[in-house]
Amino acid sequence: MQIPSRPDLETRAVHAGREDLRTLGVHALPLDLSSTYPFTDLDRATASLDALVSGDATAENPVYARLLNPTVARFENALADLEGAEAAVAYSSGMAALTAVLLAAKMEGKNHVVATRPIYGTTDHLLSCDLLGVETTWVSPEAVGDAIRPDTALVMTETPTNPTLALVDIESVVRQAAGVPVLVDSTFATPVLQRPLAHGAAMVMHSATKYLGGHGDVVAGVVACGEAWARKLRQVRVATGALLHPLGGYLLHRGLQTLPVRIERAQTTASDLARRLSAHPDVQRVYFPGLDGNAHLLGTQMDGPGTMVAFEVAGHEMASGVLRSVQLMTPAVSLGSVDTLIQHPAGLTHRVVGEAGRAQGGVSEGLLRVSVGLESADALWADLEGALASAARLAPSGAVLAE
C-alpha cells in the first residue's frame, strides 16, 4: 500500500513498514522465526554473508538469523521512519544497544565518553565501570563543552532524564560537542514527542521494552541514526549476536501502531496527577516537565510533557510505605506499559550507581517514579492518595515499615 508523501506521525505509525502487505496478500505482519535460510547457489550465499558481515542492511539471502531477520528489519524500517532517520538497528535489549554504540564509537581508536547525569542507572553503571574500556567524564548538560578532549569518541545524554524528568537542550549539547557524535536516549519521550536527530544528534536510542512495545511483554533496544553509523552498529551486532528475536520485532512493530494514541492518553492523565501531587501536603516536590520552570523546551524540542511523573516524600520509610500501600498501581521497575507502574529509583533502577553519582543526579531516598498508564486519572489518584495517607500514618511508628 502506497502511503501519501510524509503524512502525519499518527498515520505513519499505523502504516510504516507495512507498505508491501497488500502485494503479499496479507493483512497481519509476517513473523519469520527461521534460524537458518536455505540457499541454492553457494557463491550467491557467500556474497550475502559478506554483505551482512560488512554492515549491509539487506542481502539476497539472510543466511543465518544472527545476521538478519526480515521481521526485525520491518520494525527497524518503521522506527527509522518515525524518527526521521536513514536507518535503525534493533538489539536484544536497551543495554545491548548501548553496548553496541560504545563499541562502534571505539572503532575510530578513541575511548573517552562525556555523559550527563542523571541518566538511567544501568547506563550510568556501564559507563562508570571498566568493562568496555571506556573512560567517562560526568558533567552537567551545560558543561559538556569543557569536558571534550581529542580522544572523545561520544557524548551521551538523556532527555527527559531518568528519574528526575529534567529536559536537556539537545541543540546546546550538540554545539558544545563540537563535532563529536551525540547519542540521545529518548526512551521517555518516544518519537511521538521528540525527535533528537532533527536537533543535531547523531543517534537516538530507545529501550524499546518501554513505550514502543507498550505492553510489558518484550525486552529490546533500538538505535536510529544515519547509514554510516548503522553499518558500524550492524557489524557489532553480527559479531556479538545481539540481534533482537523476531517475536520481539513483531510485537514492537505492532506496538508502534498504537504508540501515539497511548502517549496522548497517558500524558493527559500524567499532567492531572502531577497537578494533584503538587498540592498534596505529604509530597515535598513533584518532577514533571512543565512544573517548577522545567518547560523551556516544551513546544520547541519536545511536543508535550510526557507520561512520567516523579515525586519526593519524606525519606526512605515514607517511600517504602507508599509502595506497600498502592493497590491499583504495580510496584515494579520498567515503564511505558498500558498499566501504571511505580518504583523507587534509589533502591532499584539506580541502585547500581554509587552514592555520589545518585546525589549528583538528584536521586534521593524519598524519590518515587511513576509510569502512568491508561487507567482513569481519578482511579489512579484515589490509589495514590490512599497510599500516601497510609504511609504517612504508619511511618512515624515504623510498625509496618520495619517488617
Taking only the tens place, the pLDDT of each residue in 155-174 is: 999 999 999 999 999 999 99
Distances (CA, A) of 155 to 8, 39, 105, 184: 31, 43, 10, 9
Q: In this model, does residue 293 exceed pLDDT 90?
A: no
Task: For residue 163, give its domain range.
Answer: 9-34+69-256
On whether both 81 and 99 belong to a single domain, the answer is yes
Catalytic residue among 81, 169, 185, 383: 185
On whether both 229 and 135 belong to a single domain, the answer is yes
φ/ψ region of 298 (left if φ > 0, alpha if ψ in -120 to 50, else beta) reads beta
| Tally of structural domains, the chain | 2
Domain assignment present for residue 216? The answer is yes
Catalytic residue among 12, 106, 117, 210: 210
**Mapped to the 3 state alphabet, what secondary structure does 350-380 carry?**
CCCCCHHHHHHCCCCCCEEEEECCCCCHHHH
On whether both 148 and 222 belong to a single domain, the answer is yes
* Residue 66 falls in the annotated catalytic set: yes
Q: pLDDT tens digit string along 83-121?
A: 999 999 999 999 999 999 999 999 989 999 999 999 999
Catalytic residue among 32, 56, 64, 66: 66
* Domain termination site, one of 239, 256, 273: 256
pLDDT > 90 fraction of the chain, expressed in percent and rounded: 91
On whether both 224 and 264 belong to a single domain, the answer is no
| 3-class state of residue 283 by DSSP | coil
On whether both 220 and 277 belong to a single domain, the answer is no
Domain assignment present for residue 2? The answer is no
How confident is the model over 273-297, as a mean pLDDT? 91
Are the C-beta atoms of 87 and 57 separated by less than 8 Å?
yes
How confident is the model over 289-297, as a mean pLDDT? 81
CATH of the domain at 232: 3.40.640.10
On whether both 287 and 333 belong to a single domain, the answer is yes
Domain assignment present for residue 337? The answer is yes
Q: Mean pLDDT in the chain?
A: 94
On whether both 81 and 193 belong to a single domain, the answer is yes
Q: In this model, does residue 398 exceed pLDDT 60?
A: no
pLDDT band, very low/low/confident/very high, at 6 (cuts 50, 70, 90): low
Distances (CA, A) of 375 to 84, 118, 209, 307: 31, 29, 20, 12
Domain assignment present for residue 59? The answer is no
* Domain termination site, one of 256, 289, 320: 256
CATH of the domain at 374: 3.90.1150.10
CA distance 128 to 136: 6
pLDDT band, very low/low/confident/very high, at 399 (cuts 50, 70, 90): very low
* Residue 185 falls in the annotated catalytic set: yes
pLDDT at 3: 41
pLDDT at 403: 32
Domain assignment present for residue 292? The answer is yes
On whether both 116 and 162 belong to a single domain, the answer is yes
Domain assignment present for residue 4? The answer is no
Domain assignment present for residue 295? The answer is yes
pLDDT at 101: 98
On whether both 211 and 354 belong to a single domain, the answer is no
Catalytic residue among 120, 211, 250, 287: 120
Least confident of 79-83, 148-152, 348-352, 375-379: 348-352
pLDDT > 70 fraction of the chain, expressed in percent and rounded: 96
* Domain termination site, one of 230, 256, 282: 256
pLDDT band, very low/low/confident/very high, at 5 (cuts 50, 70, 90): low
On whether both 164 and 18 belong to a single domain, the answer is yes
On whether both 352 and 252 belong to a single domain, the answer is no
Domain assignment present for residue 3? The answer is no
How confident is the model over 322-343, as a mean pLDDT? 97
On whether both 246 and 266 belong to a single domain, the answer is no
Are the C-beta atoms of 298 and 170 separated by less than 8 Å?
no
The predicted model scores a pTM of 0.94
319, containing H or E segment: helix 315-325
